[in-house]
Amino acid sequence: MSESPTPYRVLARKYRPQTFDQLIGQDAMVQTLENAIKRGRIAHAFLMTGVRGVGKTSTARLIAKSLNCVGPDGQGGPTISACGICDPCQAIAEGRHIDVIEMDAASHTGVDDMRNIIEAARLAAFSARFKIYIIDEVHMLSKNAFNALLKTLEEPPEHVKFLLATTEVNKVPITVLSRCQRFDLRRIPAELLAKHFQHVVDEEQISAEPEALALIARAAEGSARDGLSILDQAIAHAGTDAGGVTAVQVREMLGLSDRGAVRRLFALLLSGDAPAVLAALAEQHALGVEPAALFRGLLEAVHGVTRAKAGGAPDPAQSVEERAALEEWAGKLGHATLHRLWQLLLKGLSEVETTAMPMEAAEMALLRVVHAGTLPDPGELLRKLQSGEPMPALDAAAPVAGGGAPVMAAPVMPAVRLPADFPALIEGVASRHAHLAQQLHDYASLVRYAPPELAIHPKRPIDGNIAKALGEVFSIEWKVALADQPGEPTLREQELAAKAAAEQEILDSPVVAAIRTAFPGAELIEDERSIA
């Protein structure tokens, strides 16, 4: 077998931007750099931050080329449009320029590494206009290393520039941030990624369906490098297939559900057809679709319907059929219904991702969505409870929206259980608001207790909104009044009084009285040790 004359380079390396024109999705940063270079206002230190794969290290290399480019004739100065022909441009692009030093802070975290940089920074550049240090993942440096770098970073020699890159800017000391010109690189929009991937497959002379590239762009989550890695995998997955990269292959590779299948499942949920919902879920599972991926698809559908209802711009990656379906549902479903659907599906996704039985959790979560349409509306239920009207039957037929889709209602309890007395109320509050419960126990003198009404006299100021906390805990609106005159002793006062009475009863007993007579000065103490 004959070897290839040149080794294969992955797409993420082969299509790394070599000019600022090729850097996608960062127009604001490029404009700022261009203006700074044109006016000669070049900072001595730059910090690039953003999620993985948006171009932080590539930007640092492009800045290094722009500052050191001498043009094809060797007479040029700093420019945003590096020629890519001169020796400095080519050496920097190939990573072999002696005056452009790249280091990974993850493997050079110590103060000695920084001292080496500081010592070397004093020496003039060997052949370039500027000596440039590119420090990747700078947040990994130790505290001492940062401290050693501070003075040089603030007042470096005229011939030195520092280009720092990090994915976790919150871990970089504020003293370092204040000495750098900061650029926040944005996530690249999916439509720009899809357009970029189309350019890549055209250059590679590989056919790819637009929907397949749109799926890869979504999966990349704003990262060009991640997207190119997925595209590389998709091309390998397609092999020598004459159809090239197809949406079906990409879904199979990524474990994604067919968007048409998601829409069909969404329609079944709205119709309340439980057997059909379970059958559709089983069908997708048999095709290799993970339950979590299916729930994410359903959440995307709810989000798409809500955006369509709110008049938001459609996703350019959506097909015509998908847009039509979303607009149709937007005309039938109300905002409250969509928000409840979102919450139910979001809770289902959380359960599916954290349980040891994802398929069973998915079935239970989807059935909860189906049967939520037969439950009474929580606002109407509370109104009837307060007014004393008859409660609706829980198995009553669900109200129907236009087109036959049941109006979803969040599952609620058929009745609200209120605490029997004030101590029970405090015990309930302690489950979610421990500090407030302690204050009510120690400082609240009970004046009146008639749930959901409460009147107390605070013997000391009580922090927090009592009515809001009670509403959160007991799922009903409370009326809380602060009285001027005290009522009953606080629970703490009652406990102390009971303890004092118990101690006095012991002291008054004949045995203890005899002991105290025989041993003057003897005291009664409480033994807090547990007895096995």
Q: Look over the chain and give the mean of its residue pLDDT values, rounded to a whole number.
A: 82
Is 528 a residue whose pLDDT tops 60?
no
- Residue for token pair 């420090």: 135
Instruction: Tell me whether strands 45-49 and 100-104 are parallel, antiparallel or unpaired.
Output: unpaired
Whether the pLDDT of residue 85 is over 80: the answer is yes
Q: What tens digit of pLDDT does each residue of 38-56 get? A: 888 888 899 999 888 888 9
Instruction: Please tell me the least confidently modeled range out of 174-178, 348-352, 366-370, 411-415.
Output: 411-415
Respond yes or no on whether the N-terminal peptide bond of residue 452 is cis (omega within 30° of 0). yes
Average pLDDT value for residue range 69-81: 89
User: What is the CATH architecture assignment of 190-254?
Assistant: Orthogonal Bundle (1.10)
Percent above pLDDT 90 for the chain:
16
Domain formed by 259-372, architecture: Up-down Bundle (1.20)
User: CA 156, CA 145: separation in Å to the nearest integer?
Assistant: 16
What residues contact 426, with CB distance under 8 A and at least 6 apart? 437, 440, 441, 491
For 11-184, CATH number out of 3.90.930.60, 3.30.70.20, 3.40.50.11810, 3.40.50.300 equals 3.40.50.300
The tens digit of pLDDT for each residue in 419-437 reads 888 998 998 888 888 888 8
Contact 219, 230 (CB under 8 A): yes
pLDDT band at 363 (very low <50, low <70, confident <90, very high): very high
d(CA 448, CA 2): 93
E strand or H helix that includes residue 517: helix 510-518
Report the alpha-carbon distance of residue 283 to residue 290 in Å, rounded: 11
Relative orientation angle of helices 56-68 and 27-38, to the nearest 10 degrees:
20
Residue 532 has pLDDT above 70, yes or no: no
Boundaries of every domain in the chain: 11-184, 190-254, 259-372, 422-488
Region 333-341: mean pLDDT is 85
Check: CB of residue 190 under 8 Å from CB of residue 317: yes
Question: 100 forms bridges with which residues in the sheet?
Answer: 132
Is pLDDT of 404 > 60? no
Q: What is the model's pTM? A: 0.58
Cα(134)–Cα(259) distance, rounded to whole angstroms?
A: 43
Dump pLDDT digits (tens) for 164-194: 999 888 889 998 888 899 999 888 888 889 9
Which is more confident, 108 or 159? Answer: 159
What are the φ and ψ backbone dihedral angles of 457, each rounded to 5 degrees?
A: -115, 110
Structure tokens at 498: 């009971």
